[in-house]
Amino acid sequence: MLTEDKKRAAHRALQDRILNGEGRASPEQRARAFSNAGLSQPLDGLLGKVATRPTQVTDADFAAARAAGFSEDELFELVICAAVGQSARLYDAGLAALADAVAGEEDG
């Protein structure tokens, strides 16, 4: 388990840094990007795509976010938060399903 703890700990360290460390975007904005919830347009358009259909992101999505006043560094951070947030949800969902499967075998 020791090696696996290291993998999960490394993912948690990444999550913790992008959400709680220094940044140009506010911690509240980064948290909303991470959880893909509570975002207003045009950020919702861009970051929703990053989370669920990233191949559909276009130049126009970035242009709309810039026009709304977001800087390049804020967008750099918020896109990363959206991507890592979706990755964290998939990782957690997989680990939870695995734990259920193992618990079921031990019960049965």
Query: Is residue 82 within the footprint of other proteins (CB under 8 A)?
Result: yes
In the bound state with other proteins, the residue whose beta carbon lies nearer, of 40 and 100, is: 100
For residue 42, is the peptide bond before it cis, meaning its omega torsion is within 30 degrees of 0? yes
Q: Are 88 and 96 in contact (CB under 8 A)?
A: no
Q: Which of 31, 35, 64, 89 binds other proteins (CB under 8 A)?
A: 89
Q: Which of residues 25-44 bind other proteins (CB under 8 A)?
A: none
Q: Which of 26, 91, 106, 107 binds other proteins (CB under 8 A)?
A: 91
Cβ within 8 Å of residue 74, ≥6 positions away: 24, 25, 29
